Amino acid sequence: MKFFLTGCYDGLGRVWKAAGACTHILEGHSEPVTSVSIINPKGGESVTVATASKDRTLRLWKFNAEETRKNPLKIRAFKILRGHTAAVQSVAAQTSGNMVLSTSDFQYVCSGSWDSTINLWQTNEPDSEGDTVSTKKRKKTGQEKESQWEGEAVSSLIGHTQCVSTVKWPEPKTIYSASWDHSIKEWNVERGTATSTIYHDKVLNCIDIGGEGSALIAAGGSDPIVRVWDPRKPGTSASIKTFSSHTSWVTACKWHEKSPFHLVSASYDGKVMLWDTRTAWPLFVFDSHKDKALCADWWKGDTVLSGGADSKLCMTSGVSVL
């Protein structure tokens, strides 16, 4: 991946090539951007990404990932997705393969919201018949801007009773979600039903799917503990591993793409931690933020990225786990 994508409480998405090298600014949301997702990471020059916001919408954007610019280019979304009745907290792109909601080769994203629902959306540009969207020409200072399309949800997954804090779509027909209702659900996309539920005793802020067999669920919530579940062991809501070096709520957790044993976590304690699931203590503690750490992720396999309430985007390179 030649770039990474961030969302901020200033309502903007940003595309970065390196530290301090912002190439594109995604402008259009009227409230904080809560979540971002890259839809076609191997799309060559033209890349499509999605952003979610507290303004109750998702937006889809296209840009040239090969561009290197001295000053960032401001771009606007080509499609606005409306349908949630409360803030959208999370967005995730379908990993690969075709979902059997349509015979066409469309790509999809799913979103989780404070309205307790998960919505599924098509991300294609509306150039084919049967796509139920409307186009709007908008004028500003007397000049006509390009069309901006609007899309409605293809379907909704109903079952959570409070905010859906995180959604993940690791396999074409399977979505995972975490909620403030203390549960993690696995959904069959074709049937639109939850196939299993893990019940917890805390609010859940984040989940990620990976680890051994790319099947383990790492999660964090309203206590200082990172937990790992194995959904292949049915009938139990007991976690198989716990990691408890944080001192406040866990806001993010992310498995390494190529190592089944390593993940990073972020917390309101301001720290980002690197874990090896074979040991109980963190391998590294990145004390990068002077305020709450809100998100963390891997980039290029050996770089840990994190963002915080201190408005800092931190990058730690040379984190070798392989």
Residue 118 and residue 227 in one domain: no
Domain containing 311 equals 200-317
Looking at the domain assignment, is residue 154 inside a domain?
yes
Q: What is the pTM of this model?
A: 0.91
3-state secondary structure of 80: strand
Single out the residue in 103, 131, 161 at which a domain terminates: 161
- pLDDT-above-70 percentage for the chain: 89
Instruction: Give pLDDT, residue 20.
Output: 86
Task: Give me the pLDDT at residue 148, please.
Answer: 87
Last residue of a domain, one of 133, 161, 189: 161
Token pair of 239 as six digits: 């976690």
Do 117 and 62 lie in a common domain?
yes
Is 25 a member of any domain? Answer: yes
**Does any domain span residue 69?**
yes
The per-residue pLDDT for 281 is 96
- Residues 26 and 156 reside in one and the same domain: yes
Cα 231 to its chain centre, rounded Å, is 21
> In the prediction, which pLDDT does 307 show?
98
pLDDT tens digits, one per residue of 234-289: 767 889 999 999 999 999 999 999 999 999 999 999 999 999 999 999 999 999 89
Range from 67-71, 91-95, 195-199, 276-280 carrying the lowest mean pLDDT: 67-71
- Residue 244 CA to residue 228 CA, distance in Å, equals 12
pLDDT band (50, 70, 90) for residue 171: very high
Q: Do 210 and 95 belong to one domain? A: no
CATH code of the domain containing 59? 2.130.10.10
Task: Specify whether the backbone of 11 is left (phi greater than 0), alpha (psi in -120 to 50) or beta.
Answer: left
Domain endpoint, select from 138, 161, 184: 161
Span of 38-52, 67-81, 134-148, 153-167 with lowest mean pLDDT: 134-148
For residue 176, give the nearest of 211, 212, 219, 213 by alpha carbon.
219
Q: Do 49 and 42 form a contact (C-beta atoms < 8 A)?
A: no
Q: How many domains does the chain have?
A: 2
Residue 219 sits in the same domain as residue 298: yes
Average pLDDT over residues 277-304: 96
Please tell me whether residues 204 and 157 are part of one structural domain.
no
Q: 212 in helix, strand or coil?
A: helix
Residues 309, 206, single domain; the answer is: yes
Q: Based on the domain organization, do 249 and 154 belong to the same domain?
A: no
| Tens-digit pLDDT profile for residues 231-249 | 988 767 889 999 999 999 9
Going by C-alpha positions, the residue among 210, 207, 169, 166 that lies closest to residue 188 is 169
Amino acid at residue number 264? V
User: For the chain, first and last CA: distance in Å?
Assistant: 18
Cα gap 174→215, rounded to integer Å = 12
pLDDT value of residue 251: 98
Question: Considering the domain boundaries, does residue 175 fall inside one?
Answer: no
Check whether residue 264 and residue 157 sit in a common domain: no
18 and 85 housed in the same domain: yes
Buried b / exposed e over 57-90, threshold 16 CB at 10 Å, is: bbbbbbbbbeeeeeebeebebbbbbebbeebbbb
Give pLDDT tens digits for 19-61. 889 999 999 999 999 999 999 866 667 899 999 999 999 999 9
252 within a domain of the structure (yes/no) = yes
Mean pLDDT of all residues belonging to the chain:
90
Q: 95 falls in which pLDDT band (50, 70, 90)? A: confident
Left, alpha or beta for 211 (phi > 0: left; psi -120 to 50: alpha)?
left
> Is the domain of 108 the same as that of 215?
no
Residues 204, 306, single domain; the answer is yes
